[in-house]
Structures are given as C-alpha cells and as structure tokens.
C-alpha cells in the first residue's frame, strides 16, 4: 500500500512514538534522543506485550471496525512524512474503495495527552502519500476493547508542527529543556534521578 523509501533516510527522521515522551515532558525526549538513555520500564514492557497479543487477536477478527464492513486490513504499516521528517508504524490501516481508516492500538483507556498528537502525525504522513484519502482515525483501547473516534482540526496540526519544530531544534542544538511545570509528573518519572534541579 505504501512503499517506504530507503532505511538510511528514515533513520534520520523522528519517530512518531517519541511524541508520547515529549507530551509528558520534553526533557525525556532530550534524554532519549540526545543522550541515548532509554529507560524501559516494566509498565512499558507490559504495554508492548499487550499490543502484540492484541494484534494476533485482531488479525483473527473478520472486521476491524464496527463501522467498516468491506475493507482490506494492513497491520504494522510504516508511514513517513518528508515534510515533517517523521516516521512511524501504524498498528492497522483499513483500505476501502473510498479511502483509508487509521487505527492506533493503546494499552490504556486513558489519554495522557498524546493520543491526538500521534494520530495527527500518522494522518499527516498518509495525507502526503498520494491517491488515497483518509476517511477516519480511531484509537482502539485494549483494556476496554472499544474504538474511540479521533477528530482532527487545524489546531491539532499546528500543535504537531510546534512539537516537531521544538524536537528537531532540540536534537540539533543538544540543549536540555527546562523541567516540566507539574511536579507530580516528576514524582513518578523513571528519569527523575537524572534531574538534579527538580527535587
Ligand atoms: S523528573 Fe520531571 S523534569 Fe525530569 S524528565 Fe522527569 S518529568 Fe521531566
């Protein structure tokens, strides 16, 4: 459905997954992207396993979306945007005669502020690929097995542009951003011991 360009070019692009860290605290993105520190937690490992199990289960299902009866399903679709210099892997894309439906699986039913940011990034990638229109975007919550429709606006695109501008600038300058304002986030942060200026 989408032919990826060469891997070397994509390796220089930001991963859409990184937007999750950025939305929580830009400094985590600094640790992962500039210092190469990736503190995988037990929780995130469990999330990855839950998503893998869900994919196996979803592939067995006849229909992906309750609203889409006819359609060819694609799993783990690599998408990218040369405009935004991002690359990501979408859990599921349903291809119909009229266009595409995008589905991102989440191991939680709670949006911590990054669902839309990631979805708009996937959407921008697909919009850049010619021929197929995007007809709908959905989050599939693994714990509740529910689909949540995500409606994207111009404001969401602007928010993504700002986030990516900041992330690209941070990688180029290698300057550590200030700590997050909400101290509650720091109390449960797996990177807390690197932030001597917080506590
Ligand atoms: S401890 Fe606070 S400032 Fe430091 S990375 Fe975590 S959330 Fe950000």
Per-residue pLDDT of the chain (199 residues; tens, 9 = 90+): 666 667 777 778 999 999 999 999 999 999 999 998 876 665 566 666 666 777 677 776 666 565 555 788 899 999 999 999 999 999 999 998 899 999 999 888 888 789 999 999 999 999 987 778 999 999 998 888 888 999 999 999 999 999 999 999 999 999 999 999 999 999 999 999 999 988 7
pTM of the model: 0.85
Cβ neighbours of residue 95 under 8 Å, at least 6 residues apart? 1, 71, 72, 73, 74, 132
Instruction: Give the other-Cβ count within 10 Å of 56's Cβ.
Output: 9
Task: Report how far ligand 1's centroid is from the alpha carbon of 27 (Å).
Answer: 6
Distance of CA 111 to the CA centre of its chain: 12
Residue 103 in contact with residue 66, Cβ under 8 Å?
no
Ligand 1 in reach of 23 Cβ (< 6 A): no
Q: Are 145 and 137 in contact (CB under 8 A)?
A: no
| Cα 20 from Cα 192, distance rounded (Å) | 17
Q: Which fold has domain 7-194?
A: Lambda Exonuclease; Chain A (3.90.320)
Domain ranges in the chain are 7-194
Instruction: State which of 18, 24, 28 you would mutate to test the pocket of ligand 1, scoring each by most atoms of that ligand within 8 A of its C-beta.
Output: 28
pLDDT of 70 reads 73
The whole-number pLDDT of residue 62 equals 63
Q: Give start and end residues of each alpha helix (H) in the chain.
A: 7-11, 18-24, 26-29, 42-60, 115-128, 154-173, 183-187
What are the CA-CA distances from residue 37 to residues 30, 45, 46, 168, 170 (Å)?
A: 9, 16, 20, 18, 15
Ligand 1 atom at shortest distance from the alpha carbon of 194: 4
Q: How far is CA 118 from the centre of its chain?
A: 4
Q: In ligand 1, which atom is closest to the CA atom of 24?
A: 7
Question: Which residue's CA is the nearest one to ligand 1's atom 7?
Answer: 186
Residue 140 Cα, ligand 1 centroid: separation in angstroms?
28
Distance CA 44, CA 20 (A): 12
Tell how far the Cα of 79 is from the centroid of ligand 1, in angstroms: 30
Cα 164 to middle of ligand 1, angstroms: 19
Based on C-alpha coordinates, what's the Rg of the chain?
Answer: 17
pLDDT for position 179? 95
pLDDT at 82: 93
Q: Which atom of ligand 1 is nearest the CA belonging to 190?
A: 6
Across the strands, what pairs with 78?
89
How high is the pLDDT of residue 58? 72
């Amino acid at each position: 459905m989408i032919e990826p360009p060469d891997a070397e070019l994509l390796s220089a692009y930001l991963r859409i997954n990184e937007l999750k860290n950025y939305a929580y605290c830009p400094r985590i993105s600094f640790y992962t992207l500039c210092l190469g520190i990736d503190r995988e937690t037990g929780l995130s490992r469990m999330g990855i396993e839950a998503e893998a199990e869900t994919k196996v289960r979803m592939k067995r299902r006849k229909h992906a979306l309750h609203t889409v009866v006819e359609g060819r399903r694609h799993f783990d679709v690599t998408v990218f945007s040369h405009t935004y210099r991002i690359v990501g892997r979408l859990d599921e894309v349903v291809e119909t005669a009229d266009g595409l439906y995008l589905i991102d699986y989440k191991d939680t039913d709670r949006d911590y502020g990054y669902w839309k940011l990631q979805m708009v990034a996937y959407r921008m990638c697909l919009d850049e690929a010619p021929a197929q229109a995007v007809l709908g975007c959905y989050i599939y919550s693994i714990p509740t097995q529910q689909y949540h429709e995500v409606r994207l606006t111009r404001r969401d695109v602007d928010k993504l542009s700002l986030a990516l501008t900041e992330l690209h600038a941070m990688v180029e300058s290698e300057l550590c951003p200030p700590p997050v304002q909400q101290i509650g986030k720091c109390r449960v942060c797996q990177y807390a011991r690197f932030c001597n200026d917080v506590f």
